[in-house]
Amino acid sequence: MKILFEGKGIDIPSSASVLDIIDSLNINGKPVVAIINGVAKDIDTKLAENDDVKVITNTMPEALEHIRHSLSHVLALAIKRMLPNVQLGTGPAIENGFYYDVKCDQTFTTDDLQKIEQIMREILQEELPFKRKEMPVAEAIQKFEEMNEPFKVDIINNLNVDKVSIYETGDLFELCSGPHVPNTSVIPVDGFKLTSVSGSYWRGDVKNDAMQRIYGTAWLSKEDLDKYFEIMASAAERDHRKLGPELGIFHIDEHAVGSVFWLKNGCTLFNTIKDFIAKTIKKYGYYQVQTPQLLSKELWETSGHWEKFRDNMFIVQDEDKTLAIKPMNCPGHIIVYKIGQKSYKDLPVRIAEFGICHRNESSGALHGIMRLRAFMQDDGHVICTKDQIVSETQEFCKSLKEVYSAFGFNDIAVKFSDRPEKRAGSDDVWDNAENALKEAAIASGLDFTVNHGEGAFYGPKLEFVLKDCLGRSWQCGTLQVDFVLPERFGIYYIDSNGERQCPVMIHRAIVGSIERFIGILIEHYAGKFPFYLAPVQIVVASITEKSAEYAKKVHKFINDAGYRCELDIDNNKINYKIREHSAQKIPVLIIVGEKEAADNTVSIRRLGSDENVVLPLDDLLTFCKEQEKIGFYAQ
Which among 73, 240, 305, 359 is annotated as catalytic?
A: 359
Residue 397 known to be catalytic: no
Q: How far apart are CA 151 and CA 90, in angstroms?
A: 8
Q: Which residues are within 8 A (CB) of 351 and not within 5 positions of it... i.e. 6 or more apart?
A: 286, 287, 289, 333, 336, 337, 380, 381, 382, 383
On whether the CB atoms of residues 482 and 433 are closer than 8 A, the answer is yes
Q: Bridge-partner residues for 98, per DSSP?
A: 93, 216
How far does CA 590 lie from the centroid of its chain? 39
User: CA–CA separation, 21 vs 23, rounded Å?
Assistant: 6
The H or E element spanning position 251 is strand 250-251
User: Is 502 part of the annotated catalytic residue set?
Assistant: no
Task: Examine residue 348 and say whether the peptide bond preceding it is cis (omega within 30 degrees of 0).
Answer: yes
Query: 386-396 in b/e burial notation, b at 16+ Cβ within 10 A?
Result: eebbbebbebb
Q: Is 566 left (phi over 0), alpha (psi -120 to 50) or beta?
A: beta
CA angle 498, 499, 504 (to 5 degrees): 120
DSSP 306-338: HHHHGGGSEEEEETTEEEEE-S-SHHHHHHHHH
Catalytic-labelled residue, pool 68, 238, 305, 330: 330
Catalytic residue list contains 359: yes
CA proximity to 117, closest of 215, 220, 228, 184? 215
240 is catalytic: no
Let me know if 565 is a catalytic residue.
Answer: no
Instruction: Exactly one of 87, 212, 377, 627 is catalytic; name it.
Output: 377
First-last CA distance in the chain = 56
The per-residue DSSP string of 72-93 comes to: HHHHHHHHHHH-TTPEE----E
* Cis bond before residue 460 (omega within 30° of 0): no
Catalytic: which of 358, 461, 508, 528? 461
CA angle, 219 then 221 then 227, to 5°:
75
147 close to 84: Cβ distance less than 8 angstroms? no
Selection from 479, 484, 493, 459 nearest residue 337 by Cα = 493
Catalytic residue, from 379, 418, 468, 568: name it: 379
Instruction: Report the alpha-carbon distance of residue 12 to residue 15 in Å, rounded.
Output: 9
* Set 381, 508, 577, 606: catalytic member: 381
Neighbouring C-alpha atoms within 13 Å toward the C-beta of 284: 26
Q: Which of 132, 326, 507, 508 is catalytic?
A: 507
Is residue 588 helix, strand or coil? strand
Q: Buried b vs exposed e over 473-504: b needs ≥16 C-beta within 10 Å?
A: ebebbbbbbbbbbbbbbebbbeeeeeeeeebb
Q: Is 377 considered catalytic here? A: yes
381 is an active site residue: yes
Cα separation, 483 vs 502, whole angstroms: 9
Active-site annotation, residues: 330, 359, 377, 379, 381, 461, 507
